[in-house]
Amino acid sequence: MIVSARLAARRSLALVAAVALTATLAGTAHASETEAPETGTSVVETTPAPAAEDQPPAPEPAAPAPVEPAAPAPVDPEPVTAEPVAPAAESPVDTPAPVESTPVTPAETAPEPTPAPAAAAAAQLSISATVGAGPFLVGRQFPVVVTITNSGDADATDVRAEGYSSGYFSVDSNDWGQLSTWNGAGVTVAAGQNLVVTVDGSVSGWNGAAPVAVFAVRQGQNQVGTFQLPIPVKAPDSGTDTVGGTVFADRDGNGFPGAGEGFAGIKVSLYASGMPDTKSTTTDASGRFQFPNLPIQVYSISVDSVPGGWVIANRYAQVEADGEGSAANLLMRGVRPLSDKLTASMRFTKDLYQVGDRAEIVVTLTNKGSQDITGVIAGCDRSGGEGPELRDVDLGELEWGHGVTVAAGQTRTFSITGSISDETVEWGGVAYDCDFGPNVLESPEGFPMASAVARVPAPNTDLALEFHQDLDDDWHNSDDELLPGIAIGLRDAITGEVVRKGSTGARGEITFSDIPAGPYRIEIYSDWTFADTFWRDFGTVFAGSCERCGAISVRLIPTPGNPVPPTPDTNPVVPVVNPVTPTTPAPQARAAITTTDSTLADTGANVTTLTLFALLTLLAGATLTLTTRKRRPTA
């Protein structure tokens, strides 16, 4: 094939340009793969086409047709100028515009729809309860397991619970602790957690059907869940049983009644919910007593005081008449009182205090026994911090949780401090009384007791008293029980001097007028003495302006007479220093140890009796409350 030199040259130049451009593009592509452009964009050039003037027909750019190498040919005299390869940007044909590219970035996507706001986190409380198989006697306590569940996604705060029913079922509020709806602070139950608590429930009465207990959970003031729990109860009329036993003095210390150890003629009382009246009987010559044919249930039993100072440790108790004779042979064991070995006394360090003073009491304990006495604490102010008692009391080493040891034959002294309240002005004095011994807060029966009194300045006042013989032991002063003509003395409880004497009128009354306010002790000079031991031991009354400082009723019993002391030459004058007009007292802290003894209800006394007891307690420096609860007076 014959090709002109001009055409061959043009084809050669086109081939060379194509090869050069291919190499350039390959290098550029390689650089693009190995190194990111500094400017953030790159320009990709396409393969340029040959000049439009001599464009060969449809060449294959990727695989150009082979051409024979053109031998050097003579060049025409006129210079032949090859058309330079135009830059791709200047190509008028087929050259695309530069294409910009950006670094590889995630493809832009449509924004996701905004989700609806999630529900606010909230607590979700529920309550459930389980009880043992039963059936349970009426009056018997049994454990109930209560579960409070928070199935929500937020903590539940201020959570409380309670249990009740319309069928005599109840739970002592103290068993709930901080969950109590009465006096609890509330607790927190975390999200997804359970709170399990065991409480003691009881069914106190019977109305013919077993009760269904309702347990409720509260959050704040709102009740948020309840649960019903049937309580299996044994009907009292489904059987009978006997309650009986022996009251005895355990002289040989073997724990069982022996010959001559029984107490004869001791009154024993029995009471239960639903009984119209308290049942009573007396022990026989061997100390035995019995209550037969009783409906099966729990009963409260009490034993009157026994002679000789013996202490019946369990003389207030609950027993189960379960139909199986479990309470038919009770042992009401008498032991010697701790006061046989341990003695106590108390005194204020000053006779006269002003309102607001910080007072100190010195306590003296003496162990007359042959063995050490350990863990001795003080149980004080059993009237609950009312009246003339000290406030904000610090019992020191005698505080519960501490306790002291008094070695055999040793005498030790301790200090109690407290504040003189505004209220003492109304009484003309301040008083404080305590029991001492191990476990004194549980059962102070037979433990040594002491009291201390001091005067607080107040105006002179009158003191009215009334005396009677309580023939029917009902704590009422009937007309036929009043005692006229009884010689009475009034002794200053601080100085010990007799300040007034007189005799009771036709209705057993006597009034001591215009006497210094403060604490006094009553003395009887006729053939009578106090029926109640607390009057003999700690019979302090207060002459003052308090609303409870009215007429005081005192029970007497016949006894060999006491001599009448001589009349004092002059009535002692008690100094009244800076009399204080009573004002509304600021709230005061109560005494450090205050106990509430549920055995008060077991004395068999009616409401009137308890009211009288409370009056005497307040006027006797809080000593009566302890006596009536733990030291039943001997008629």
- Per the structure block, which two tokens stand in for 197? 């608590």
Q: How confident is the model at residue 561 (pLDDT cuts 50, 70, 90)?
A: low
Which DSSP category does 308 fall into?
G
What is the enclosing helix (H) or strand (E) of 610?
A: helix 607-619
Asked if residue 135 has a cis previous peptide bond (ω within 30° of 0), the answer is: yes
Higher pLDDT, 532 or 430: 430
Residues written for the chain? 635
* CA atoms 146, 144, 598, 478: torsion sign: positive
**Phi, psi for residue 15 in degrees, rounded to 5:** -65, -45
For 171-187, what is each residue's pLDDT tens digit?
988 899 999 998 899 99
pLDDT of residue 592: 33
Render pLDDT for 27-56 as a digit per residue (tens, 0 to 9). 443 444 444 444 343 333 434 444 444 444
Please write the tens of the pLDDT for every residue from 390-435.
999 999 999 988 899 999 999 999 999 999 999 999 999 999 999 9
pLDDT range class, residue 188, cuts 50, 70, 90: very high
How do residues 254-280 score in pLDDT, each as one tens digit? 999 999 999 999 999 999 987 888 999
| CB contact burial 323-334 (16+ within 10 A = b; e otherwise) | beeebbebebbb
Report whether 380 contacts 591 (CB < 8 A).
Answer: yes
Tell me the average pLDDT of the chain.
78
| pLDDT range class, residue 543, cuts 50, 70, 90 | very high
Say whether pLDDT at 123 is over 90: yes
For residue 619, give the 3-state DSSP assignment.
Answer: helix
- What sign has the CA pseudo-torsion 539, 544, 547, 550? positive
**Helix, strand or coil, per DSSP, at residue 302:** strand
Cβ proximity of 379 and 432 under 8 Å? no
Percent above pLDDT 90 for the chain: 57
pLDDT in tens, 333-375: 999 999 999 999 999 999 999 999 999 999 999 999 999 999 9
**pLDDT at res. 111:** 66
Give the per-residue pLDDT at 546.
83
Per-residue confidence band for 167, with pLDDT thresholds at 50, 70 and 90 = confident
| Residue 527, pLDDT above cutoff 70 | yes
Helix axes 623-630, 607-619, angle to 10 degrees: 140
Distance CA 417, CA 437 (A): 19
* Listed residue (362, 358, 360) closest to 419, CA to CA: 358
Residue 552: band (very low, low, confident or very high) from pLDDT cuts 50, 70, 90: confident
58/68 Cα distance (integer angstroms): 19
Which tens digits make up the pLDDT trace of 573-597?
Answer: 443 333 333 333 333 333 333 333 3
In this structure, how many other beta carbons lie within 10 angstroms of the beta carbon of residue 366? 17
Euclidean distance between CA atoms 10 and 70, whole angstroms: 11
How far apart, in whole angstroms, are the C-alpha atoms of residue 565 and residue 563?
6
- CA-closest candidate to residue 442, choices 601, 593, 335: 593
CA 179 from centre of chain = 8
- Range 173-178 contact pairs with CB under 8 angstroms and sequence separation of 24 or more: 175/199, 175/200
Specify the higher pLDDT residue, 473 or 96. Answer: 473
Going along the chain from its start, the domains and CATH numbers come out as 5-101 (no CATH), 125-234 (2.60.40.10), 240-335 (2.60.40.10), 338-455 (2.60.40.10), 461-575+596-630 (2.60.40.10)
The DSSP code sequence of 71-138 is PP-PPPSS--PPPP---GGG-SSS-PPPEEE----PPP-PPPPPPPPPPPP---EEEEEEE-S--EET
